[in-house]
């Protein structure tokens, strides 16, 4: 197994209500699970291949909850990545060189019956985890924004977080709001639905805990 590790910031927007029932082992809000995610890798390697600075994104769609399977997915990697980096990131996001079901990427791939060919396109991605803001644009594929949740009565910013000591994606994530449309192989449309902002640290065996 090739050794790999990634420290990254992510923004994920799915079709569920704020909080996302999946985080609590409950069924998705509308019965289906759909999401678009952006990643900024700050530090990382796949064997001898350095991944610092690589951007990636992915689009997912399941006809029911993720654990029901029969989903489809597509990975996008920024066109500025080298061939070696493209191969490494695609393999990681497909759950390869990973102990089965220990990362969110391994789970998603296992639960997908259709994996579309990867795309190599410019990715415009900005994310501020602390302030719950993000912009994710892949021309012709993804157009998404993230923002804080606001109190419906006062308009004031509302802050909430999810702490998952045994999760397979993050330890702590900021909750927010997202609005995203996708085109191409997988077409999605969300408006002010669940937004997730997190710093992630993953490797072959899953989340690398800060207390480790």
Q: Residue 139 class from Cβ within 10 Å (0-12 exposed, 13-18 middle, 19+ buried)?
A: exposed
Q: What are 80's strand-pairing partners?
A: none
DSSP class of 101: T
What is the C-alpha to C-alpha distance for residues 60 and 63, in angstroms, rounded to an integer? 10
pLDDT interval class at 211 (50, 70, 90): low
Q: pLDDT tens digits for 133-175?
A: 999 999 999 999 999 999 999 999 999 999 999 999 999 999 9
Q: Which residues contact residue 109 at a Cβ distance below 8 angstroms, ignoring those fewer than 6 apart?
A: 73, 93, 94, 95, 115
pLDDT at 35: 98
pLDDT mean over 180-202: 97
Above 80 in pLDDT, residue 212? no
Above 70 in pLDDT, residue 111? yes
180 contacts 136 by C-beta, under 8 angstroms: yes
Helices of type H across 69-149:
83-93, 104-110
Mean pLDDT of the chain: 96
Q: pLDDT tens digits for 22-72?
A: 999 999 999 999 999 999 999 999 999 999 999 999 999 999 999 999 999
pLDDT at 20: 92
3-state secondary structure at position 161: strand
Q: pLDDT tens digits for 73-85?
A: 999 999 999 999 9
pTM equals 0.95
pLDDT mean over 104-118: 97
């Amino acid at each position: 197994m090739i050794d790999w590790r990634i420290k990254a910031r992510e923004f994920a927007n799915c079709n569920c209500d704020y909080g996302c029932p999946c985080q609590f082992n409950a069924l998705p809000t509308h019965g289906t699970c759909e999401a678009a995610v952006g990643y900024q890798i700050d530090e990382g390697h796949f064997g001898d291949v350095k991944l610092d600075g690589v951007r990636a994104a992915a689009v997912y769609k399941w006809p029911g909850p993720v654990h029901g399977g029969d989903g489809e997915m597509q990975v996008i990697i920024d066109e500025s990545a080298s061939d070696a980096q493209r191969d490494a990131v695609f393999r990681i996001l497909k759950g390869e060189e990973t102990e089965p079901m220990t990362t969110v990427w391994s789970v998603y791939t296992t639960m997908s019956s259709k994996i579309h060919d990867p795309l190599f396109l410019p990715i415009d991605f900005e994310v501020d985890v602390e302030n719950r803001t993000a912009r994710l644009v892949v021309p012709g594929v993804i157009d998404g924004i993230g923002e804080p949740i606001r109190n419906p009565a006062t308009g004031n910013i509302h802050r909430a977080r999810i702490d998952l000591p045994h999760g397979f994606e993050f330890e702590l994530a900021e909750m927010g709001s997202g609005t995203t449309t996708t085109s191409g192989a997988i077409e999605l449309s969300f408006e002010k639905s669940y937004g997730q902002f997190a710093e992630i640290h993953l490797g072959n065996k899953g989340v690398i805990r800060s207390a480790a």
